[in-house]
A = this chain, B = another copy of it.
Amino acid sequence: MSKRIGVDLGGTTAKLGVVTEQNEIIERKVIPTDKSLTFEETIAVLSEGILSMGDVGIVGFGVPSSLKPVSDIVIHANNLGWKNKDLRGELKKHLGNIPIFIANDADSAAVGEFFQGAGQGCQSMLMLTLGTGVGGGFIYQGRLYRGGNGCGFEPGHMIVQQDGVVCSCGLHGCLEAYCSATAIIREITACKKSLILQDMIAENDGKGNARMLFDAVRQDDRYAKSILEKYIHTLAIGIGSLTTILRPEIVVIGGGVSGAGDLLFDPLREEVKRTTFSYDVIGGAAIIPAALGNDAGIIGAALLDRVLI
- B-side contacts of A285, CB under 8 Å: 149
Q: From known contacts A66-B282, A171-B275, infer whether A159 and B160 are also in contact, taking CB-CB under 8 Å.
A: yes
Q: A246 at the A/B interface (Cβ < 8 Å)? A: yes
Which residues of A are interface residues toward B (Cβ below 8 A)? 66, 75-76, 123-126, 140-141, 146-155, 157-162, 169, 171, 173-174, 233-234, 237, 240-242, 244-249, 274-275, 277-278, 281-282, 285
Tell me, rounded to whole Å, the shortest Cβ–Cβ distance linking A55 to chain B: 35
Q: Please state if B245 and A246 are interface contacts (CB–CB under 8 Å).
A: yes
Distance between A175 CB and nearest chain B CB, rounded to angstroms:
9
Chain A interface mostly helix, strand, loop or mixed? loop
8 CB contacts below 8 A, A to B, read: A76-B281, A153-B245, A153-B247, A154-B245, A158-B241, A159-B160, A160-B162, A173-B237
Given contacts A159-B240, A161-B162, A241-B159, A246 and B147 within 8 Å (CB-CB): yes
Rounded to whole Å, the gap between the CB of A205 and the closest CB of chain B is 34
A94 vs chain B, min Cβ distance (A): 27
B148 and A140 form a contact (CB under 8 A)? yes
When distances are taken between beta carbons in the complex, the residues of chain B under 8 Å from A123 are: 148
A151 interface neighbour in B141, B153, B282, Cβ under 8 Å: B282
Neighbour of A247 across the interface among B124, B148, B158, CB < 8 A: B148
Identify which of B66, B125, B161, B281 contacts A278 (C-beta below 8 A).
B66
Q: Min CB distance, A177 to chain B, in Å?
A: 12
Q: Which residues of B contact A281 (CB under 8 A)?
A: 66, 75-76
Q: How far is the CA of A155 from the CA of B245 in the complex (A)?
A: 6
Copies of chain A in the complex? 2
Q: What residues of chain B lie closer than 8 Å to A155, measured between beta carbons?
A: 244-245
Q: Which residues of B have CB within 8 Å of A237?
A: 159, 162, 173
Closest 9 CB pairs of A and B: A124-B148, A147-B247, A157-B277, A158-B241, A148-B248, A149-B247, A151-B247, A154-B244, A157-B244
Closest to A67 in B: B282
Check if A159 sits within 8 Å of B275, measured CB to CB.
Answer: yes
A146 to B174, CA, bound (A): 25
Write out the residue numbers on chain B whose beta carbons fall within 8 Å of the beta carbon of A234. 162
Determine whether the beta carbon of B233 is less than 8 Å from that of A148: no
From residue A272, how far is it (CB to closest CB) to chain B in Å? 12
Chain B residues whose C-beta falls within 8 Å of the C-beta of A282 in the assembled complex = 66, 75, 151
The minimal Cβ–Cβ distance linking A37 to chain B, given in whole angstroms, is: 24
Give the distance in Å from the alpha carbon of A241 to the alpha carbon of B241 in the complex.
10
CA–CA, A153 and B289, complex, Å: 25
Closest Cβ neighbor of A161 among chain B residues: B162
